[in-house]
Chains A and B, each alone.
Chain A
Amino acid sequence: MLLLTTAWAGEITLWHAYRAEEKLAIEQACTVWQTTHPGTTVLPVAVPYEGLASKLEAAIPRGNGPDLFIFAHERVAAWSEGGIILPVEALDGAMGSATTALTWERKTWGWPLSVKSLALFYNKKLVETPPGNEAALWELVGRPKPEGQFWLAYEVASAYHAAPWMHGYGGGVFSGEKVLLDRPENVLALAMIQKLASEVVPQEPTGALVTQLFNEGRAAMVINGPWMLGEISGVDYGVASLPVLSSGLPAAPYLSVEAAFLSRDSTEARELGAWLAGPEAAKIRQDVGRQIVARDDVESDDPVLNAFRKQATVAVPMPVRSEMGQTWEPLARSLRRLTRGAVTPEVAAAEAQSTYAILSRPVPPAAAPWPYVGLLVAVLVAAAVWFIRELRSVKIRPWSFAYLYVAPAFGAMTLLTVLPFVVGATISLFEQEGQGWTFVGISNFLDILLARDFPLSSPLSFVSTLAVTILWTVSNVILHVGIGVALAMMLREPWVKMRGAFRALLILPWAIPSYITALIWKNLFHQQFGAINALLKLLGAEPVSWFANFSTAFAANLTTNTWLGFPFMMVVTLGALQSIPRDLEEAAEVDGAGAWDRFRHVTLPLLKPALLPAVILGSVWTFNMFNIIYLVSGGEPDGTTDVLVSQAYRWAFTRGHRYGYAAAYAVIIFGVLVIYGRLANRLAGKKVV
């Protein structure tokens, strides 16, 4: 018994999300440590990254968590306040910036293992020496270049990629503890970004495009992180620090630090954690795991790792304050407007700050829950009374088997649809603040419906988003049905040869996962490299910046979704046409009806019973079509093409986790669709939904 207890006490569990060589390295390091600690067993457990954070947050407070775990430093603030992690002594020889990243409320909260930040990749064939300062950078990018080549490519409109310039000019997101996006240093950085966007980098650059250009030798330099290393092929490249700016400060990217965190205290765990971050383990992690280790005293023979390490020493740790979450979208929004040339740097900075103010508005005051509880109880009692009365009038006995058969479906529906809905509806009455939830009653709903935080005309307001959503739904459904029915009618014509092949081809867009289609179309609409603009150019027309205007961005979304949507209507129509005797159309033909009259007076009314449910279904799908909006226009320009669901998504996940507000959005969407279903039923004159 005694033996068992010591054995248990001598075991250290370590959770990490490493794969491949990094996993190998950490396991090897643990084994080495164990040779000097024979009484202790180390148990490294690889947990998929996607679930790691929520697993930790669930397991540790209940005592089921690991002793140590490895994660990025961004949650230090929340986790130290939530008691998920314990403070540790700062480590000698650790990179200063990494230690800073792990410091919160004057304590150190982990042992830094590795670092990641942006740096400058350069193609050695095209660039001899990477520019060390801003003057050299401008000189280099000002040199003549062949058509279709770029001296520099990077995601110019991303807030993450804007940080180096902001820091380099002495600015940044925070000024002290406050978010101050519109200070003059940031305006300087935005001016530089605007110049880069208009004169140097390719238009609408995405991560994939940047990598592609670099691999094809069309981008001489790119700014990217170590995650691009695995994707480079066939280029002789080097990595260097970002240049020193005219302010005299180096352009400083954000630094992410991966650290070992202590979640259950023991001497052995503390020893192991510190050792994993120490020089001996760092060497293993660097040589075996190819990590950019967070130490000043380890040198690699790989110049790329050394370059990244050097960049990390001047990098700015990613802020861990909760306000950070609400700064991404305002900055990104302003950057997109800025790089399109729609606003000046001053205006962009001011807009970013004012949007931040809207998104970060304080949580509504707590409401007294008693009226709501009272109402809920009353509703539940009424429902129970009604149910019992119904039950009495219904004879269950003769149908008991039928109920049994229905039970699994009923159970599944309850579990998968009813329960999440109830949970969502409940969340809509709360708002999250730090780790806790505040009951706010219906104020989320009032805020949304009355547009309390912004004017009605703002793309953020519910009314304008609803208007866009309705326009989106109506125009989609008209096109889907129009094209679907037209193609179905055509496929029925006797002169169409190879009907089966055409039918299969036309159904194909439906069979391909919608996000793949969305991404393909997104690329087709790319201003500089997209096929559509290439075609326009070929026809002698000016290329269109598709996502710079509401109408063109909306049209791009509409085109993509129409491509996805018409096959369903076509299939429904083809099926329905089978049941319409040809005689009827012949009769109409003889009766003197032309093709259009025949369609309008005979075919269409007969298609109606089959089409109407499809139209209602299609409009609900389109109303809630998240993929296309999110992936094609992404709400561009300035969130004007967002529909209600994508708006709700943004409130929940990209605007500082306003779950309550987002849930209220979802409930309102549900309400709108219920009303629509009712109206549609009345219009149809019978029950279809």
Chain B
Amino acid sequence: MEMKVKSHGRVSKRSQYKRYTRSRAGNVLFFTFLTLFGLFSVLPLFYCVITSLKPLEELLIVPPRFTVSRPTLQNFTELPGLLASLRVPLSRYIFNSVFIALVSTILHIICSAAAAFTFSKSKLKARTLLFTIVQMALLYNAYTLAIPQYLIFSKTGIIDTYWVYILPAIPSAMGCFLMKQYIDSAVPDALLEAARIDGAGIMRIFIQIVMPLVKPAWLTLFLFSFRDMWSIVPSGTIFSEQLKTLPQVMTSIAAGGIARTGSSMAASVILMLPPIIVFWLTQSNVMETMSSSGIKE
């Protein structure tokens, strides 16, 4: 209740001040720009959803329409049948995707938080150097590291197993970096000091005090990691059909020409829904975490 009153006070103060720095011409410019970019952003996704709801007759109309007159879920219900030739049931791909996304995301959050806590609050001499290295690694992602990583995968023998998805996803530099910056700003040393006086050890401080306090940060890591892992398509590291993920088989549906357009868009809709739901569940926490995401030099 108090928080609400506070933020309300803030808003009115801001708008009062806004009056003399905001010109009408500027507002029009802002509005036009936002509308144009908003349409550019949304229309393709909208078209994707519309196409997924079109029955075959409507898919073949020339020129194509950007609306659907008799929406149907046929494209969605047809999906399992389209995959029948692969001898692995659709449910297996769904299981793989969910399993890989959840396991790697949870391990990523735990490992990143533990490392970030050490980087932020320990007095180890190496911590600054190690964190600098992690921060430098923000530049490189799975795509740029693909070839050297491929060598490591084959030397460690994890190619064509679940590990090849999960293990490299755990030490993502961005997660650890965001977590460390958030712990710096949200976990006061005095609080840890008090727990210390009460006799808590480092492990207990981490689990019982730090983890609950940095909930916004781990929800943020959940969103980013889940998004990445849910849409992962491995290149050259998975050969067994029963280890493939949903986006991997969905891409092959798209290769089937005009008759498959509806099904391919239905597959895209199914793939885009979970990350969107996760975003709406976590968005206020994500915004709070991102406000401490700056790199100080």
Q: Do A and B bind each other?
A: no
